Copies of this chain bind each other. A is one copy, B any other.
Amino acid sequence: MDLFRNFKSVTKTCYGRGSFGKLGEILEPHRSANKGFMVFLVDHYFEGKADFIACIPKQAADEIIFCSTAKEPSTKQIDGLRDDILARRGLPAGMVGIGGGNVMDVAKALSLMFTNEGSSVQYQGLNLIKKPGIYHCGVPTISGTGAEVSMTAVLTGPVKKLGLKCDWTVFDQIVLDPDLIASVPRDQWFYTGMDTYIHSVEAITGTKKNTFAEAYSEKALGMCREVFLKRERSDPKSDEFLMVASYMGGLSLTYSEVGVCHALSYGLGKVLELHHCIANCIAFDKLEDVYGDYVQEFKGMVKHLQVNIPQGLAKDWSESTIDAMAEVAYNLPHMWDHAFGPDWQKVLDRERIKGWYRRM
C-alpha cells in the first residue's frame, strides 16, 4: 500500500481579495475564550506602516507584538514570548500570525506552548505535544513557504532544527488575501515563491509520492510558471496564482517529502544561518544532476526576472564549515530515502554532499 497518512486540514479557509477586511468578523466568535484578548503577532516589516496597522482588527484589550524575522524561529524566542505574555496578561483567547513563513511558524508554536508546560525544546519532533493549543489564525503577507497549511512549526533549538509537528499545530483558520502580497520586495517575492516551486519539484520527483501529492505539485508548478515566466508581476492574476500555488505546494507535501535541495538548505541554515528560502535557491541552482530540466527552468526564471542568486560562496568556506553542513544534511534520512529510495546509501555519501556544497 501507499504511505499511510491521515492528515489534519486547516479547519477554516477564507480566500479572496478583501478577505483581510473580514478578519474582525472571523475572530469575533473566538474572543471570549480564556482571558478574552487576542495577540496579533506581526512581521516587523510592518512596524511603523500605519496604513497597514490600521487594518488590523485590534480591540482595546488586544496586543500587537512585532516579530523580528532576522533569524529563523527559535525555541528560546517561543519560550520567552510565551512566558512574557502569560506573566503580564494570562492566557490569550487566540493568536493571529500576520507575516511570512517565519511568523506563521512562531504563531503555531506559541499557540501550542501556551498550554504545554516547560520549554519548547522538549517537544521538537513528531507528536510529542500533549495538549491542544489555543485558537490560532494565520494571515500570510508573502507566499511560497506553505507554512499556512503545514502541520509543523520549524524551530531552531540548542541541539536540533526540528518542528513541533502534530495535528494541533495546524491552523484553526487561515485568511488568504492576495492584496496583502502585492508589495513584497522583489527579491524576497522571488526567493519565497521559489520555495513552493522547489518543494513541489522535490515532492513530485521522489519515491514517496502518490497521485494526491502529484496533483497538488503539478498544479502548483503550473501556477509558478504563470507567475515567474509568463505574466507581469503587475498582472492582478499573478498574486492570486502565487497565493494558491503556495497553498497547493504546501499540500503537495501531505503525501510526499522534500528532497536533496531541502537537505542541503538545512545545512546552510543551521551552520551559516542563511534564511530558508534563499538557501533553497542557492542549493537548487547547483542540482542539475538531480533535478535536470527543473533546474534549467529555474535558471530560466532567474534570467527572465533578473534576480540575483548568490554565487561563488564556497570559496570562502573552510573545510570544517563544509563538513559541518554535510553532516547536518546527511542526517536527514527521510529526505534521502524519498529522493533516492530505500537504498539511498548506495548512491549517496558525505563526499557527494560536500561536492554539491563546493559548487555553490
Q: How many copies does the complex hold?
A: 2
The complex places the Cα of A219 from the Cα of B215 at a distance, in Å, of: 7
- Of the candidates B1, B173, B248, which one forms a contact with A19 in the assembled complex, judged by CB atoms under 8 Å apart? B1
Query: For window 205-229 of chain A, which residues contact chain B by CB distance below 8 Å?
Result: 210-212, 215, 218-219, 223
B6 and A9: CB pair below 8 A? no
Closest B residue, CB atoms, query A237? B211
A13 at the interface (CB under 8 A from B): yes
Q: Which of A4, A26, A178 has the most CB of B within 10 A?
A: A4
A15 and B244: CB pair below 8 A? no
Mark contacts of A162-173 with chain B using CB atoms, 8 A cut-off: 1 yes-contact digit, 0 otherwise.
000001000001
A305 at the interface (CB under 8 A from B): no
The complex places the Cα of A12 from the Cα of B167 at a distance, in Å, of: 9
Complex interface: chain B residues within 8 A of A1 (CB): 16-19, 21
B9 and A13: CB pair below 8 A? yes
Query: For window 16-32 of chain A, which residues contact chain B by CB distance below 8 Å?
Result: 16-19, 21-22, 26
A61 at the interface (CB under 8 A from B): no
B9 and A244: CB pair below 8 A? no
A2 at the interface (CB under 8 A from B): yes
A4 and B14: CB pair below 8 A? yes
A12 and B6: CB pair below 8 A? yes
B215 and A223: CB pair below 8 A? yes
Complex interface: chain B residues within 8 A of A211 (CB): 178, 237, 240-241, 243-244
Complex interface: chain B residues within 8 A of A8 (CB): 11-12
Complex interface: chain B residues within 8 A of A178 (CB): 211
B240 and A210: CB pair below 8 A? yes
